[in-house]
Structure 1
Amino acid sequence: MRITIDDKWTATVTGDPLHITPRFDFRDFRVRIATYANVEERGRFLLDTFGSQPWLWDTPDELRFDRASRQLVGAEFQIAGEAADAADSARVPAAPLVHPGGLRADEAQDFRLEVTSELCRAPGDTVLTCLRDLDVLDEPLEARIGIAPDVALLVQHGTVVGWSLTDPAQYLTTGFAAPDPAPPAPATRLLLTECLDLVTTELLDEVRDRAPAALDRLRALDQALRTQPEDRHRADALLSLIADLVEDYADRPPGQKP
């Protein structure tokens, strides 16, 4: 199967997906699929590969390919900051099922992968689906290509129109740290949903406006994350963003900009 990623730039689906554990960096709100462990290694990785990457003020999503084999070797996706409403999220089709596969660039040439604009949250946040736009939901998907564990590219009319992350709680982390390989605690899954409710809905605007009820909810969530007795790696990953919001809006005097 050949797919289009950026206008006329194409890649061919192979039978070899990446065997790299995704990292859901909650503070940066992005998913990384790569082996680099710090900024320096990331820089070398970008120099040694080709594909879509940030440049100056331009920050597209990233698909990176080996220069010799043209095989996909890494990816980084930004999560849309505002969630679609429940009715639209419910329209995300269950079919087709994910088919594991890698990508081989049809030519060794850089391209640009536009970031998605719509976040659809499945019930319980068991799957996060990021789409180019909501018009994608008006027609069936052609394929789900599982390029890495629990990460799939969504294809419609031969073109990549989004991506998804299944079981995002499993992959919670910060920065370049590897996620905890143990299953997430049930409390962590509930806290992830509370955090996403806060940062992807109108509640975030209420926090920024310092609405008392919203700030009370923010402080309660911050406290719950700080006192969770288990699954500390994931709780700290969620706390990394929530604590920043507390500092910027709940702890600062009104009128003082964050």
Structure 2
Amino acid sequence: MAPCRPPSRSDEATFMVKFTIGDALPVETTRNPLAHTPRFDITTPAVTVAQYADMAGRERLLGTTFGSTQWLWAASDDAFFDQESRELVGISFFVPPLFAPAHAGVPSAGPPSRSAGLRADAGEAFELPQATAFRCDPEAAELRCVQDPGLIDVVPDARIGIARDLALLVRDGRMIGWSLTDPARYVTSGLAEPESAPPSPLTRLRLAECLALISEPLVEAVRDQDPDAWRTLRQTERALREQSDDLRRRDVLYEVVGRLIEDHAS
């Protein structure tokens, strides 16, 4: 499949990109991005954009869709396409366990995100392996997840905005990962709707710290009782305990840090 070409301004009215997601599913963009608000369940952690609010709703959605998984707890991300229209109606991405820190000279993020839906070429089940590495800057401006650690600094050819602030990263005609802009805005627990108000700057800082703490290599150092790792953990726990704004998001992050301390305290 030929690499996709980022659209120019003259392409605005006819924006269309074809690429492959997962192991072998060709898709093309449509004018119908997902209307649901992303929910970033930091306790899992995973990002979900779908109409369901519980596992029973997810099961009902499975009955009218095809996609990347047809059972619970599969080791893949979930993409749901409507059986009749073949359009994307929901998606759920797991945040991978490996944290990839930023390096000097990291290239720009590439082209701006372009809002679009997806339509599958065929109504077939496919595999959508979970990403393996992620990056989140200290101010949590963007959470970027990629299928291979070697892709973390690769500039995508296109960023397909399938939902508010959620984009698929496309390179050489295939999806190589995804990104969530301002992930702190969507922080929640489980499938609850996130707060509508913007997150505070403190919440953004604490989110970036929490993501590093629950991921490799820092989480391994916490488990091994490394003093520096535990100092970092306790500093984040104290900062969250003393935070006096954005309390609902603060409480979710504090739950994550508290569980980490409880699980690994000697």
TM-score > 0.5 by shorter chain: yes
* SS at 1:206 equivalent: helix
Native 8 Å contact 2:142 2:182 kept in 1: yes
Query: Distance in 2 between the 1:246 and 1:127 partners?
Result: 26
Native 8 Å contact 1:79 1:119 kept in 2: yes
Native 8 Å contact 1:3 1:158 kept in 2: yes
Say whether 1:176 aligns with 2:197.
Answer: no
Post-superposition CA distance 1:189-248 (Å, at most 9, x none): 121122123223533222101234433432342233234222121112212221111111
Native 8 Å contact 1:93 1:141 kept in 2: no
* SS at 1:195 equivalent: helix
Which residue identity does 1:165 align to in structure 2? L
Counterpart for residue 243 of structure 2: 228
- Please, which moves more after superposition, 57-66 or 159-168? 57-66
Alpha-carbon distance, 1:40 to partner: 1.1
- Pick from 135, 143, 168: which aligns with 1:120? 135
Counterpart for residue 38 of structure 2: 22
TM-score between both structures, scaled by the size of structure 1 = 0.89
Native 8 Å contact 1:78 1:116 kept in 2: yes
Counterpart for residue 81 of structure 2: 65
Say whether 1:206 aligns with 2:184.
Answer: no
Counterpart for residue 241 of structure 1: 256
Post-superposition CA distance 1:142-181 (Å, at most 9, x none): 2110000000001111111100000001000010100000
Counterpart for residue 167 of structure 1: 182
Counterpart for residue 7 of structure 2: none
Native 8 Å contact 2:37 2:49 kept in 1: yes
Residues 54 and 223 of structure 1, relative CA distance in 2, 3 Å threshold: farther
Counterpart for residue 41 of structure 1: 57
Q: Percent identity?
A: 43
Query: Distance in 2 between the 1:123 and 1:220 partners?
Result: 15
Alignment coverage as a number of residue pairs = 250
Query: Distance in 1 between the 2:86 and 2:18 partners?
Result: 14
- Pick from 123, 146, 158: which aligns with 1:131? 146
Query: Distance in 2 between the 1:106 and 1:113 partners?
Result: 16
TM-score between both structures, scaled by the size of structure 2 = 0.86
Native 8 Å contact 2:145 2:152 kept in 1: no
Residues 28 and 92 of structure 1, relative CA distance in 2, 3 Å threshold: farther
Query: Distance in 2 between the 1:216 and 1:122 partners?
Result: 20
Which residue identity does 2:78 align to in structure 1? E
Which residue identity does 1:112 align to in structure 2? E
Query: Distance in 2 between the 1:54 and 1:216 partners?
Result: 42
Say whether 1:149 aligns with 2:160.
Answer: no
Which residue identity does 1:25 align to in structure 2? D
Counterpart for residue 31 of structure 1: 47
- Runs of 4+ aligned structure 1 residues displaced above 6 Å come to none
Counterpart for residue 98 of structure 2: 82
Alpha-carbon distance, 1:84 to partner: 1.1
Native 8 Å contact 2:133 2:152 kept in 1: no
Residues 212 and 239 of structure 1, relative CA distance in 2, 3 Å threshold: same
Query: Distance in 1 between the 2:224 and 2:153 partners?
Result: 35
Native 8 Å contact 1:50 1:65 kept in 2: yes
Say whether 1:215 aligns with 2:251.
Answer: no
- Please, which moves more after superposition, 190-199 or 235-244? 190-199
* SS at 1:32 equivalent: strand
Native 8 Å contact 1:91 1:137 kept in 2: no
The gaps in structure 2 that reach 5 residues or longer are 1-16
Query: Distance in 1 between the 2:200 and 2:71 partners?
Result: 39
The gaps in structure 1 that reach 5 residues or longer are none
Counterpart for residue 114 of structure 2: 99
Native 8 Å contact 1:54 1:60 kept in 2: no
Residues 95 and 185 of structure 1, relative CA distance in 2, 3 Å threshold: same
C-alpha root-mean-square deviation of aligned residues, in Å?
Answer: 2.0
